[in-house]
Structure 1
């Protein structure tokens, strides 16, 4: 979905390039390539920025919520809002789009985590290709099953620092130590950017 600002920028850019190429007598194909590359940058730079690099949670949320017609964004926004119905609808669309179980496994597992039923998707957890994500959900499964000591041991081996902090927070919450858990929740958020940061902030109900 292209925003109004992006749409206006594309029009202005196309007109400007048209005028400049006429003045400089640049050939048609070079002009077409310049326009294509420029439009691609206008469309994808905001996407990459808000999905992976921004630390402004409100702007990330605003950007994502304007694009919920895209199944993958609808899915993660629904997860952030604990909207099980919305997540289920988006998951159905994602499974229709991506036929490979290795691709859909991450969505299936994330949805199961929302409903606290990771034990029902053990096989899907094993299909997750990213080892860091797979280990994270394996540790969450241990927490869900009440195997806290095993989960604590696994938390120290998680390769992404935010995952370790998030796992420590989960374990402390289970022990009823909310104030100590909040410290690790904050650390986990500080270690993330983009959509992952937004998901954690929403999960910990900080916005």
Structure 2
């Protein structure tokens, strides 16, 4: 609601600025430039910052709840909170909206992992375009097959710190090393922002609650 009011205020200010500029014969370039800057500010405040940069989990959750008409984002909230029935519905919308195999593959892998359906994950992995995400799910598969040493070696090529730390946390947790798992889980949350921070935080609330207690 606050974001909505802020957007209205910005657009109203933009409207007033355009009227003022027109009545005072300002340069069209200045008018267009001002409008573009205003729209960019709204985009950053309303979408980019909460989705990518925000550290507060409650604010990210509020943002995700406002994205029910955007299944690509709302699926993150649904899976993070384990809303099984809604997850199926949102996945159907995603598959209907996005026809590209590479786009579908990322969502299928995430949904397969959520359902513990490793066959679905394995089928989706070769089609994932982004190297880090592809390697992430390949490492998950190795870990599920009991290949912990190979999984640990495989994840080294991942550039994203939160991914590496999250995988290391899972490896250590499966090995029964809870203290080390908590350490890596904290690293993962600290290295993440926005939607990904929210997803990790919700997961560790269930599996490693000690990891999120000390993370601001």
- Tell me the TM-score normalised to structure 2 length: 0.85
Aligned to 1:21: 22
CA apart distance, 1:32: 6.6
Aligned to 1:197: 197
Number of paired residues?
Answer: 205
Aligned to 1:181: 181
User: Counterparts of 2:50 and 2:110 in 1: how far apart (Å)?
Assistant: 20
Q: Is the CA contact 1:148–1:171 (under 8 Å) kept in the aligned structure 2? A: yes
CA apart distance, 1:34: 4.4
SS for the counterpart of 1:3 is helix
Q: What is the root-mean-square deviation of aligned Cα atoms in Å? A: 2.2
SS for the counterpart of 1:204 is helix
- Match status 1:140 vs 2:137: no
In structure 1, the gaps of 5 or more residues are: none
Q: Is the CA contact 2:121–2:137 (under 8 Å) kept in the aligned structure 1? A: no
CA apart distance, 1:117: 1.4
Q: Mark the CA change 1:124 to 1:16 in structure 2 (over 3 Å): closer, same or farther.
A: same
Mapping for residues 71-82 of structure 1, pairs under 5 Å: 71-82=71-82
SS for the counterpart of 1:92 is helix
Aligned to 2:39: 40
CA apart distance, 1:186: 0.3
Aligned to 1:8: 9
SS for the counterpart of 2:157 is coil
Q: Is the CA contact 2:18–2:31 (under 8 Å) kept in the aligned structure 1? A: no
User: Counterparts of 2:176 and 2:83 in 1: how far apart (Å)?
Assistant: 25
CA apart distance, 1:146: 2.3
User: Counterparts of 2:184 and 2:110 in 1: how far apart (Å)?
Assistant: 21
- Tell me the TM-score normalised to structure 1 length: 0.88
Q: Is the CA contact 1:74–1:86 (under 8 Å) kept in the aligned structure 2? A: no
Aligned to 2:209: none
CA apart distance, 1:31: 7.4
